[in-house]
Structure 1
């Protein structure tokens, strides 16, 4: 398997040549509109982030604990895990909906389920209703989160695709921030509304999606796969070239999409679930996708995401206000670093970010483990404060890759015919890892405390070695061109077809871009 930065092919050069250098997101009204619709898709991740932080915050609220009789052990594990169990129930349907009825209707159906879940969680009167609500939230999220990032990837303007797709998972922290600070503000309400209000606000992203998703353009790749070539070309032209269907970039994208999908449809190895492991290239993809999905939840971050209050307890920080305050500040810190990394993906490259992230996590999680042991064994207050500092530094490095890249990298290395199914495997892997963590973490923390951290130190070291060997650089490529890194000569026809389009239109583009009367 190839490792290290990949050489730029002639196709990558052709692709960059047909991009109008004067068309920027801030000076073109249709790109501005497109990016506005992208926000509606990106906030799908906010719902997931809101839920993770909400459960963390609720566990610090005496009102919530009193209402549900202070759940502990397996019950607490179920309350945290049930959302992911709901996701598992939705995964069998998600790819068929995304590929069958389209990306937009699938997101709409997911939004309906999440609205119902948030309503039930807000109004619940017992722990069983609360569990059912979180199951509904997970079910809807698995459906919407299969389609939303794919639509972002497939409809984005090519030069902004890596950054926008990376922002998808990054906006997990936007929900995390809102939930953290909402809970911080409502903790002083001396009634059940201290936790019902945050539960109600969880419906906000789904509310907007329910009403506005139909204004978002459908995926041109989905349209071509359904024989709607004219509509696909019109969509590409409207948002990528001010309606000019003969624009060189539009024609390049259109021909590349048609050639790739035609090849998939003609080759039985490229369809169905068996296709995920039918070829050497696909097996490479699945090994990487499953690994980074598992790594994203098994790097020690699960301790902070769902059980930060338990971590605080092990270092002597038990005041509810302080716990919620630190949680809120950490969410802002995480969002900053994740957004920063999202805008560096094409500048620094995916491989560099993955390796830097793993190395930094290993250093600071090891230091966090040492200081936790120092506090547990000797009661050192300075060691407890150092744990908090190292948690922040650990997350700065985690956010360089495992927040922005895990979704964008998985989507860009999957060809269209496998994108929905392969991304479903990615989401399934995350849910399995989360469920395992959510059951095991509270039990392990209760029984062996800081010694449990050593397990993660060893595993992060393994992650670094794996990433060094397997991660392939995909910098500055279209979605279809990226497939060449895994499929090699199998995409010769695709490259030849798109190269012919680019060659024919280079001269037209040069003339157009040099004409001061042409609007760009």
Structure 2
């Protein structure tokens, strides 16, 4: 059964009464960006292998990098617009416009007649993805029940490999076509994910935190009930979560916190939140996966796998492996914690990069006499590297920033994280094919050295966010929680009890006081 849920925006919602059904819809609605992004990376991997694509555009190392990296130019500017859009229009409307812009870019990319048109199309596509990545992560983090947040937001980026796997299969199927449709069909199919996202939006509610901030208190309480207790407004967990949100956002307003982008650097606590949270973007970008994500063909060339059909098959297998590792990593993030999972993953990446660099050097020194075992060993470690990357960075890329940052800086802070990621990606995706062509195996050694620095930074500065609601993070960064209710997980597990009657009265009083102050 569907129940109309007021959203406070022009985009209406009819929401399932079942919390579990709603959780599934929330996840599918918000995987749009990662599925589209994963599809894009894998598709370009495949296209960069296809003669029908490279010959059509007469590509060399520089123009290959430009065609591939141009999506990050749009991704560079998209987050700048995403923060204000997400805060002012609402989380769901921002997702809608991001999806629509993405579809426009995909249509232009499919119809590209030259490099200039292809690049412009990919800039528009990247701009749309930049908006949906920020809006999707903020929306999902704020709307999911805290006990499911790690899986909900983690899966948002895990679906990168679902898109990548679909793209790998499609480019493998069209790879033998002797026309430009060998690359145009995979390009056009990319639009289906954004279209699905638009179709699902009317069946999920608005973020309860956005609703409270905008003064829609009863609507926010209804959403909390829908996402936690099958719509039961009197459930103790619902009352606790709602009271915690109202109290914390009221405290932020009392402290003069605004939704301005300047807020991310206004106070020492905000600067600390921003620097720790946004680090996930740049750290994941420089970890080394860009080589295999966009230039698998050239990476396999350095290992002696040069047949284009074999490279396309490897692309399919790689994405199946990475999807499994990402799902396993999400389980670790939820059960073990964010920080230890990141440290484990990064340490394994360093080991793999140095091994890949060493094996690639041996092959480069004598490619004619290299044994098959050397080649297969190099490819195996490349696959291990991508899997180890997926364990932590796939789920944490959007989960960790959205958890660390408080409401007033969440959208703009996450936008800055994505901005930083795309700024680095523009450079690295363009430089990687040139670097591989000129210094070969040494690129892996350089990347491994960067990752050692990242391990130290994570160990020293990251905080653990497991087991806390978004409001309870204040105890870490502000020194205290700004609501008198017990921690939500303690109430849910029965470790703490609340008097529903008393809490109902407190909720009513807090809501009235907050409403009066907004008038």
TM-score by length of 1: 0.88
Q: Which runs of 4+ in 1 moved over 6 A?
A: 499-504
Match of 1:41 in 2: 30
- Within 5 Å, give how 1:107-126 maps onto structure 2: 107-126=95-114
Cα distance per residue 1:188-208 (max 9 Å; x no partner)? 112111111100110011111
Query: 1:217, 1:364 → 2: CA distance?
Result: 43
User: Contact (CA 8 Å) 1:42, 1:149: kept in 2 or not?
Assistant: no
Q: Which residue of 2 aligns with 1:95?
A: 83
Q: 1:504: Cα distance to partner?
A: 10
The aligned residue for residue 437 of structure 1 is 428
Q: Which moved more, 1:123-132 or 1:368-377?
A: 123-132
Pick one of 460, 464, 474 that aligns with 1:483: 474
Cα deviation for residue 289 of structure 1 reads 2.7
User: For the residues of structure 2 that align with 1:432 and 1:279, how far apart are their CA atoms?
Assistant: 25
Q: 1:449-498: per-residue Cα shift (whole Å, max 9, x none)?
A: 11122111111111111111112111211111123212214x4xx13256
Q: Distance in 1 between matches of 2:26 and 2:460?
A: 38
Aligned 8 A contact 1:46 1:171 in 2: yes
Moved more, 468-477 or 276-285: 276-285
* Mapped partners of 2:246, 2:184: distance in 1: 49
State the shift of 1:124 in Å. Answer: 2.0
Matching of residue 506 in structure 1 with residue 489 in structure 2: no
C-alpha change, 1:406 and 1:133, in structure 2 (3 Å) is same
CA shift for structure 1 position 85: 0.4
1:171 maps to which residue?
159
Aligned residue in 1 for 2:402: 411
Match of 2:510 in 1: none
User: What whole-Å deviation, never above 9, does each CA across 1:17-38 have from its counterpart, x for those lacking one?
Assistant: xxxxxxxxxxx93322332232
For 1:468, which of 459, 462, 487 is the aligned residue? Answer: 459
Where in structure 1 are there 5+ consecutive unaligned residues? 1-27, 510-520
Residues 499, 357 of structure 1: alpha-carbon distance in 2 compared, 3 angstrom cutoff: closer
Distance between the aligned counterparts of 2:211 and 2:329, measured in 1?
32
Partner residue of 2:507?
Answer: none
Q: Is the 8 A contact 2:18 2:226 kept in 1?
A: no
Deviation at 1:508, TM superposition (A): 4.9
Q: Distance in 1 between matches of 2:279 and 2:225?
A: 37
Deviation per CA, 1:278-331, whole angstroms, max 9, x where unpaired?
333222222223332111011111111111111122222211100111011001
CA deviation map 1:104-143 (0-9, x unaligned): 1111101111111111112222222211211111111111
Q: Which moved more, 1:264-273 or 1:398-407?
A: 264-273
Q: 475-484 or 283-292, which moves further after superposition? A: 283-292
Higher mean C-alpha deviation, range 381-390 or range 367-376 = 381-390
Deviation per CA, 1:145-199, whole angstroms, max 9, x where unpaired?
1111111111112211111111111111111111111101110112111111100
Alignment partner of 1:392 is 2:383: yes
Q: How does 1:3-22 map to 2 (within 5 A)?
A: none
Whole-angstrom distance in 2 between the partners of 1:178 and 1:79: 21
Partner of residue 4, structure 1: none
| CA–CA separation in structure 1 for the residues paired with 2:321 and 2:250 | 45
Q: 1:504 to 1:370 in 2, by over 3 A?
A: closer
Name the stretch that deviates more: 367-376 or 401-410.
Answer: 401-410
Q: Is the 8 A contact 2:105 2:121 kept in 1?
A: yes
Structure 2 residue 348 is the aligned partner of structure 1 residue 360: yes
| Aligned-pair CA distance for 1:394 | 1.3
Q: Which residue of 1 aligns with 2:508?
A: none
Q: CA deviation at 1:409?
A: 1.0
For 1:104-503, what aligned pairs fall within 5 Å after superposition? Answer: 104-269=92-257, 271-379=259-367, 380-381=370-371, 382-489=373-480, 491=481, 494-496=482-484
Q: Distance in 2 between matches of 1:158 and 1:349?
A: 14
* Number of positions where the alignment pairs a residue of Structure 1 with one of Structure 2: 478
Query: What is the distance in 1 between the residues matched to 2:334 and 2:445?
Result: 34
C-alpha distance in structure 2 between counterparts of 1:344 and 1:386, whole Å: 27
Q: CA deviation at 1:271?
A: 4.4
Q: Is the 8 A contact 2:276 2:404 kept in 1?
A: no
Residue equivalent to 1:22: none
CA distance in 1, matches of 2:415, 2:361: 39
- Equivalent residues of 1:364, 1:391 under 8 A apart: yes
Give me the whole-angstrom Cα distance separating, in 2, the residues matched to 1:84 and 1:420: 19
Q: Distance in 2 between matches of 1:383 and 1:231?
A: 62
Contact 2:225 2:233 in 1 (8 A): yes
Separation (CA, whole Å) in 2 of partners of 1:457 and 1:88: 25
CA RMSD after TM alignment: 2.0
Alpha-carbon distance in 1 for matches of 2:21, 2:291: 39
Q: Helix, strand or coil for the counterpart of 2:295? A: helix
For residues 448 and 27 of structure 2, what CA distance do their matches in structure 1 show? Answer: 37
Unaligned runs of 5+ in 2: 1-16, 502-519
Could you tell me how far 1:505 is from its partner in structure 2?
A: 5.8
Q: For the residues of structure 1 that align with 2:19 and 2:338, how far apart are their CA atoms?
A: 29
